[in-house]
């Protein structure tokens, strides 16, 4: 019914969004098959060595009396499976030196759900006035934009653009004022969509600012350390009572299990657990059961260092080489410095058509990318740069990535030629 009366919540969360369009295009392309160049979504690559581990774990679970039955047939606590919580806490203690225990961890139905719970737990209308989430560096993750229950939940700082050579650039944080209406600072590291890794000094400065102002700092590690480790340069992390870290099993190769991991102080974790119970009763057990022995033994670290990180770094370098071949110096094209994640962020200064029109042209030719203007949550100022960028992934089979890049170059050249 097009005229069905809706609540404010219903109107907001049933309206079209960038993340809906991205996932709908991705799902349709996968279900219909064909020769589509999937260069839009963040689906991890199918790495044979990683998938061999998942097959082995499934066999081990099925061969262990009672293991499959409890994994599929029993609810966990709203905070997660107790054995997994202890194991992952010990893993973070060993690998990152964090002084935490199982009470500092909660499992959610993916890190997307964790972000939704955290944003609306900390920001929005309150007795002290409406509060916001600050993104210190945009472009930022497309999935953040529609997650605020209250309108105007997000604000952002405009980045500084640093040119690096003829065809590369990097966004830098332009530190600004933090308003009294800010409740938390949030960033992804590596950054989705740009593959940016903010420096250790920048991260420490954000942490210090948050601590001094009594704010939370939320660090989204969906692509970062210590897993899945799709980060191509050394990077230190920060920790403290004011810091909330989120992780995911998706980019390690298990997106179908929808397993998010939140590490925070006990009060935040207790509140998330109560929210979990109200919304989903308990999280899915499959991801926890699949990976618990890997975190306990340290096998996951070897998998990251020996397989996952080298795989994505090689794919990134190859895709950048193909871009350099497909575009020539007659065009002013630039690629953001690729320091991690699964993406390349392309900028075409002075692009004669919008990013959205370029997306539609590519879609007609069987190439799925994501328009750049979707990636600026909380930044509503007019800025032509937002409409001159695209995000592409290099996780698809190499032949399709190379062909997709060639088609992209052809369409961009056509646009400039008009």
Phi-psi region of 328 (alpha: psi -120 to 50; beta: other; left: phi over 0): beta
Q: Is residue 67 part of a domain?
A: no
Q: Are 37 and 406 in contact (CB under 8 A)?
A: no
Number of domains in the chain: 2
- The number of beta carbons lying within 10 Å of the beta carbon of residue 400 is 16
Return the pLDDT at 15: 76
Return the pLDDT at 13: 78
Last residue of a domain, one of 250, 279, 298: 298
Are 87 and 158 contained in the same domain? yes
Q: Is residue 56 part of a domain?
A: no
Last residue of a domain, one of 298, 327, 355: 298
Interacting residues of 35 by C-beta distance below 8 A, sequence separation 6+: 366, 400
Return the pLDDT at 23: 66
Dihedrals phi, psi of 297, to nearest 5 degrees: -85, -15
Are 36 and 124 contained in the same domain? no
Return the pLDDT at 27: 63
Interacting residues of 39 by C-beta distance below 8 A, sequence separation 6+: 367, 368, 369, 392, 393, 394, 396, 400, 401, 404
Return the pLDDT at 2: 54
Q: Which domain does 43 fall in, by range?
A: 8-50+302-417
Residues 141-176 as b or e (16 or more Cβ within 10 Å = b)? bbbbbbbbebeebbbbbebeeeeeeebebbbebeee
Angle at 80 between CA 77 and CA 84, to 5 degrees: 125
- The number of beta carbons lying within 10 Å of the beta carbon of residue 48 is 9
Return the pLDDT at 29: 56
Hey, what are 325's tokens? Answer: 């071949």
Are 159 and 145 contained in the same domain? yes
Measure the N-to-C terminal CA separation of the chain; round to a whole number of Å.
43
Q: Is residue 57 part of a domain?
A: no
pTM for the complete prediction? 0.94
Return the pLDDT at 41: 83
Each of the 418 residues of the chain gets a pLDDT tens digit; together they read 456 788 888 887 777 776 676 667 666 655 555 688 999 888 999 999 999 999 999 999 999 999 999 999 999 999 999 999 999 999 999 999 999 999 999 999 999 999 999 999 999 998 778 899 999 999 999 999 999 999 999 999 999 999 999 999 999 999 999 999 999 999 999 999 999 999 999 999 999 999 999 999 999 999 999 999 999 999 999 999 999 999 999 999 999 999 999 999 999 999 999 999 999 999 899 999 999 999 999 999 999 999 999 999 999 999 999 999 999 887 889 999 999 999 999 999 999 999 999 999 999 999 999 999 999 999 999 999 999 999 999 999 999 999 999 999 999 999 998 7
The CATH number of whichever domain residue 230 belongs to comes to: 3.40.640.10
CA 6, distance to chain mean position in Å, is: 30
Q: Is residue 55 part of a domain?
A: no
- Rounded CA gap, 372 and 375, in Å? 6
Q: Is residue 37 part of a domain?
A: yes
Q: What DSSP character marks residue 251?
A: G
Last residue of a domain, one of 283, 298, 313: 298
Q: Are 73 and 284 in contact (CB under 8 A)?
A: no
Q: Is residue 125 part of a domain?
A: yes
């Amino acid at each position: 019914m097009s005229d069905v009366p809706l609540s404010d919540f219903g109107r907001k969360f049933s309206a079209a969004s960038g993340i809906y369009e991205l996932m709908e295009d991705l799902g349709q392309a996968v279900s219909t098959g064909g020769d589509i160049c999937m260069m839009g979504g963040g689906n991890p690559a199918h790495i044979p060595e990683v998938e061999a581990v998942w097959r082995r774990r499934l066999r081990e679970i099925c061969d262990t009396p009672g293991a499959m039955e409890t994994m599929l047939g029993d609810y966990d606590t709203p905070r997660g499976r107790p054995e997994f919580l202890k194991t992952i806490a010990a893993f973070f203690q060993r690998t990152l030196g964090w002084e935490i225990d199982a009470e500092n961890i909660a499992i959610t139905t993916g890190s997307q759900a964790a972000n939704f719970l955290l944003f609306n737990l900390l920001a929005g209308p309150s007795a002290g006035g409406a509060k916001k989430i600050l993104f210190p560096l945009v472009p930022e993750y497309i999935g953040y934009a529609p997650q605020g229950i209250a309108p105007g939940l997000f604000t952002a700082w405009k980045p500084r653009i640093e040119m690096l050579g003829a065809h590369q650039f990097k966004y830098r944080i332009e530190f600004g004022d933090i308003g009294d209406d800010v409740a938390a600072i949030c960033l992804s590291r590596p950054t989705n969509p740009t593959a940016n890794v903010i420096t250790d000094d920048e991260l420490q400065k954000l942490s210090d600012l948050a601590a001094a102002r009594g704010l939370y700092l939320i660090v989204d590690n969906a692509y970062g350390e210590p897993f899945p480790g799709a980060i191509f340069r050394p990077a230190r992390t920060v920790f403290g009572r004011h810091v909330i870290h989120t992780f995911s099993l998706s980019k390690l190769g298990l997106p179908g299990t929808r397993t998010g991991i939140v590490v925070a102080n006990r009060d935040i974790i207790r509140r998330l657990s109560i929210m979990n119970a109200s919304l989903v009763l308990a999280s899915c057990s499959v991801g926890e059961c699949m990976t618990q022995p890997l975190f306990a033994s340290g096998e996951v670290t070897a998998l990251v260092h020996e397989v996952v990180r080298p795989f994505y770094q090689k794919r990134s370098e190859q895709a950048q080489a193909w871009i350099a071949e497909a575009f020539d110096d007659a065009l002013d094209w630039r690629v953001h410095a690729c320091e991690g994640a699964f993406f390349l962020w392309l900028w075409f200064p002075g692009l004669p058509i919008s990013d959205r029109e370029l997306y539609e042209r590519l879609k007609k030719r069987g190439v799925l990318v994501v328009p750049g203007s979707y990636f600026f949550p909380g930044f509503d100022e007019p800025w032509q740069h937002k409409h001159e960028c695209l995000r592409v992934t290099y996780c698809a089979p190499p032949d399709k990535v190379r062909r997709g890049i060639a088609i992209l170059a052809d369409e961009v050249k056509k646009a400039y030629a008009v």
